[in-house]
Amino acid sequence: MPIIIQQRSKCIGCNYCVEQAPEHWRMSKKDGKATLIGAVQKKEFWSLKIQEAEKEKNVNAAKACPVKIIDIR
């Protein structure tokens, strides 16, 4: 199963990941950064297992990220 990993502290809140994969991303009203919905945190990294079919949208989100903090494995 693919995994999305986000280094959330470095997010600059551009909203592109939400545009690409709104099922998995939303903008936090608290700190203006992108939140990976349902993810678990380990230090500054947040990760979430997704279905193969959901991978493409998130790969697009990773490509669109201007600060390259999203990794799909």
The DSSP element (H or E) to which 7 belongs, if any, is strand 3-7
Q: For the CA atoms of the chain, what is the radius of gyration?
A: 11
The distance of closest approach from Cβ of residue 33 to other proteins in the complex, given in angstroms and rounded to an integer, is: 7
30 binds other proteins (CB under 8 A): yes
Q: Which string of x and - marks every residue 32-61 that binds other proteins (by CB under 8 A)?
A: xx----------------------------
The distance of closest approach from Cβ of residue 51 to other proteins in the complex, given in angstroms and rounded to an integer, is: 26
